[in-house]
Amino acid sequence: MLAANIKAKIKEADALFEQCDTGKPTIDNAFNGLVRVLHSAISEAEELSVFARKIIAGSRHKVWVEALLRTA
């Protein structure tokens, strides 16, 4: 369940990422909100953070995912 939830958030964030250059604050806010949720999932305070990090790392080929993993 956790893996499916994370993958769904990555897919949703990726769709929004392509629209971030439009200058629409609602898109930027939605994307940033999803990134915050994913960042929280891989924080050391989370019980399953190592598992979440492995799931997210599977999408490392996406520019924004690589940046997320570096900053977490």
Q: What is the DSSP string of 19-66?
A: TGGG--HHHHHHHHHHHHHHHHHTSTTSTTHHHHHHHHHTTTTSHHHH
Residue 15: its pLDDT value, please?
97
Is the pTM here over 0.75, yes or no? Answer: yes
Please count the structural domains in the chain. 1
**Looking at per-residue confidence, does 44 or 57 come out higher?**
57
The number of residues in the chain equals 72
Q: Which of 72, 66, 48, 50 is nearest to 10 (CA)?
A: 66
Q: How confident is the model over 3-51, as pLDDT tens digits? A: 999 999 999 999 999 999 999 999 999 999 999 999 999 999 999 999 9
pLDDT of residue 59: 97
